[in-house]
């Protein structure tokens, strides 16, 4: 059945560890009710980027089929996430003369074009232009200047760029799985949509989404986005640390990490032990939980310190009255809130998807933040006319650019 008739919106999170589909229906209040969830292990993604089309296609199909069974909806198109080390972001500003003495949509479009007229390397394109504030004849902090009288219109924006090939591989994988991509959002912007409150975004907050392959951040203040960054370290690094630290297989290390992982040695009694299967047919060994926590704490501290460095370098620390919200699988570690709070010197809470109805219990885990956020953003912004085609590198981001105006409304 066509989505449009049923107010159905689908978020597809193509993550490093899992590909996840959230099917949502827009409710009377304009919010969303979750009606289906599908998740399949992902093997074709490295650090947020598609590296194997065939296995990605298979995981997309599995994840969609599962969500279709639960929701009873046939998924035809999705809003997908994009992530990875190719993403580059920065702040920029633009200025234009107001043509008729009163600001129109056309002036807004021109001033945003002027802000995004920047040198971008070959093969990269602007993915998002997120306005922070408009300034009209020197008056700043204007959110919506349309209809206001003035001569000189300025805008300050946050610009996100990414590799066209990366977006193309997402649309190509979806197309081979039989679905169209209607929109693409930077993953941490989607996660922010799912777990942050409006008040947090207003007074200042840093979202940290710790996935399997990357850990992504987005900083908001006065309701607008001021910074985004991607750190190419994630939950898989903790697993690898345990694999070598405990001399066990990667799959056992992953299981132990999820069942027993704690990133704060203070929370573990010195005499607590766990049984660790050995490799090569040797008998299982007993390992102290405290030793395991030491290994995990070192990695968690490293990640938090890298984020602290980034926040300090960009002079963002003072913008964060609401502190930090951590989401993604990494935020599930026991002790993560306390550890992050002590390293960052800020309030930290774990973010689960909020303000959703329907089968909200099913997605009540930080690992679903991105997929829920993608469905939410899609529902808020509505369906676009242009479906991003697959395989045409030139057009992928250009069409995303066409829809830019809708996105702008979203993040303002």
Ligand X SMILES: Nc1ncnc2c1ncn2[C@@H]1O[C@H](COP(=O)(O)OP(=O)(O)OP(=O)(O)O)[C@@H](O)[C@H]1O
353 binds Mg ion per the rule CB under 5 A? no
Number of continuous H segments (helices) and E segments (strands) in the chain: 13, 19
Q: Minimum CB separation from ligand X for residue 237, in Å?
A: 8
Residue 206 · residue 316 · CB < 8 Å:
yes
Closer to ligand X by CB, 53 or 321: give it: 53
x/- mask, Mg ion, residues 369-398, rule CB under 5 A, reads -x----------------------------
Q: Minimum CB separation from ligand X for residue 187, in Å?
A: 6
Residue 24 · residue 11 · CB < 8 Å:
yes
15 binds Mg ion per the rule CB under 5 A? yes
Integer CA distances (angstroms), 289 to 251, 255, 272, 295, in order = 18, 14, 6, 10
- Site stretch for Mg ion (CB under 5 A), options 58-66, 219-227, 335-343, 366-374: 366-374
84 binds Mg ion per the rule CB under 5 A? no
Closer to ligand X by CB, 19 or 142: give it: 19
Closer to Mg ion by CB, 290 or 370: give it: 370
The full 3-state SS of 10-75, as one line of letters, equals EEEEECCCEEEEEEEEECCCCCEEEEEEEEEECCCEECCEECCHHHHHHHHHHHHHHHHHHHCCCC
- Site stretch for Mg ion (CB under 5 A), options 9-17, 54-62, 65-73, 235-243: 9-17
Helix ranges, 151-282 (H):
164-176, 187-195, 198-203, 235-245, 250-260
- Site stretch for Mg ion (CB under 5 A), options 10-18, 300-308, 314-322, 353-361: 10-18
Which residue in the shown chain puts its C-beta closest to Mg ion? Answer: 211
Q: Minimum CB separation from Mg ion for residue 51, in Å?
A: 16
Q: Minimum CB separation from ligand X for residue 335, in Å?
A: 10
What is the distance in angstroms between the CA of the first residue and the CA of the last residue of the chain? 33
x/- mask, Mg ion, residues 104-143, rule CB under 5 A, reads ----------------------------------------
Integer CA distances (angstroms), 357 to 47, 242, 353, 371, in order = 31, 38, 11, 15
Partner in contact with 358, chosen from Mg ion, ligand X, none, beta carbon below 5 to 8 Å by kind: none
Closer to Mg ion by CB, 45 or 320: give it: 45
Q: Which of 207, 189, 164 is closest to 316 using CA atoms?
A: 207
Q: DSSP letter at 213? A: S
Partner in contact with 257, chosen from ligand X, Mg ion, none, beta carbon below 5 to 8 Å by kind: ligand X
Closer to ligand X by CB, 329 or 373: give it: 329
Residue 363 · residue 353 · CB < 8 Å:
yes
Binding region for ligand X (CB under 6 A): 15-18, 48, 83, 211-214, 234-236, 239, 254, 257-258, 261, 328-330, 332-333, 367
Q: Minimum CB separation from Mg ion for residue 327, in Å?
A: 9
Closer to ligand X by CB, 26 or 171: give it: 171
Task: Compute the distance between CA of residue 17 and CA of residue 45 in angstroms, rounded to an integer.
Answer: 8
Closer to ligand X by CB, 21 or 132: give it: 21
Task: Compute the distance between CA of residue 292 and CA of residue 357 in angstroms, rounded to an integer.
Answer: 38
Closer to Mg ion by CB, 14 or 24: give it: 14
Q: Minimum CB separation from ligand X for residue 333, in Å?
A: 4
Task: Compute the distance between CA of residue 394 and CA of residue 406 in angstroms, rounded to an integer.
Answer: 21
Residue 217 · residue 233 · CB < 8 Å:
no
Phi (first) and psi of residue 253, to 5 degrees: -60, -40
Closer to Mg ion by CB, 36 or 81: give it: 81
Q: Minimum CB separation from Mg ion for residue 404, in Å?
A: 24
Q: Minimum CB separation from Mg ion for residue 116, in Å?
A: 27
Residue 184 · residue 82 · CB < 8 Å:
yes
211 binds Mg ion per the rule CB under 5 A? yes
Q: Minimum CB separation from ligand X for residue 370, in Å?
A: 6
Supply 66's token pair.
């599962």
Task: Compute the distance between CA of residue 219 and CA of residue 137 in angstroms, rounded to an integer.
Answer: 27
Kindly list the residues in this chain that would bind Mg ion in the complex (CB under 5 A): 15, 211, 370
């Amino acid at each position: 059945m066509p989505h449009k008739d049923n107010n159905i919106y689908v978020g597809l999170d193509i993550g490093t560890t899992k590909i996840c589909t959230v099917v949502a229906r827009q409710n009377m209040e304009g919010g969303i009710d979750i009606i289906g969830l599908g998740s399949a292990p992902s093997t074709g993604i490295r650090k947020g980027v598609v590296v194997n089309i065939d296995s990605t296609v298979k995981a997309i199909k599995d994840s969609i089929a599962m969500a279709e069974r639960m929701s009873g909806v046939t998924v035809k198109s999705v809003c997908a996430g994009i992530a990875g080390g190719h993403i580059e972001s920065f702040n920029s500003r633009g200025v234009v003369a107001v043509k008729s003495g009163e600001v129109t949509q056309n002036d807004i479009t021109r001033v945003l074009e002027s802000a995004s007229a920047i040198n971008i390397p070959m093969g990269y394109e602007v993915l998002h232009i997120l306005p922070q504030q408009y300034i009209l004849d020197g008056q700043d902090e204007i959110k919506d200047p349309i209809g206001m009288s003035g001569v000189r219109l300025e805008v300050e924006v946050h610009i996100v760029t990414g590799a066209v090939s990366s977006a193309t591989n997402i649309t190509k994988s979806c197309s081979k799985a039989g679905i169209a991509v209607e929109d693409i959002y930077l993953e941490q912007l989607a996660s922010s949509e799912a777990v942050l409150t409006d008040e947090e975004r207003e007074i200042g907050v840093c979202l940290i989404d710790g996935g399997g392959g990357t850990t992504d951040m987005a900083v908001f203040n006065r309701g607008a986005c001021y910074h985004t960054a991607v750190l190419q370290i994630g939950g898989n690094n903790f697993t690898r640390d345990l694999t070598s630290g405990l001399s066990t297989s990667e799959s056992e290390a992953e299981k132990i990490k999820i069942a027993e992982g704690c990133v704060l040695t203070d929370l573990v009694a010195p005499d607590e032990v766990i049984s660790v299967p050995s490799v090569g047919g040797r008998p299982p060994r007993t390992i102290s939980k405290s030793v395991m926590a030491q290994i995990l704490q070192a990695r968690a501290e490293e990640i938090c310190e890298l984020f602290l460095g980034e926040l300090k370098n960009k002079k963002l620390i003072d913008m964060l009255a609401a502190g930090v919200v951590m989401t993604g699988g990494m935020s599930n570690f026991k002790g993560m809130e306390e550890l992050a709070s002590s390293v960052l010197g800020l309030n930290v809470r774990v973010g689960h998807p909020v303000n959703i109805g329907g089968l909200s219990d099913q997605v009540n885990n930080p690992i679903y933040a991105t997929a829920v956020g993608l469905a939410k953003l899609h529902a808020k912004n509505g369906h676009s006319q242009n479906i991003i085609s697959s395989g045409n590198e030139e057009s992928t981001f250009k069409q995303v650019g066409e829809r830019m105006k809708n996105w702008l409304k979203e993040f303002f």
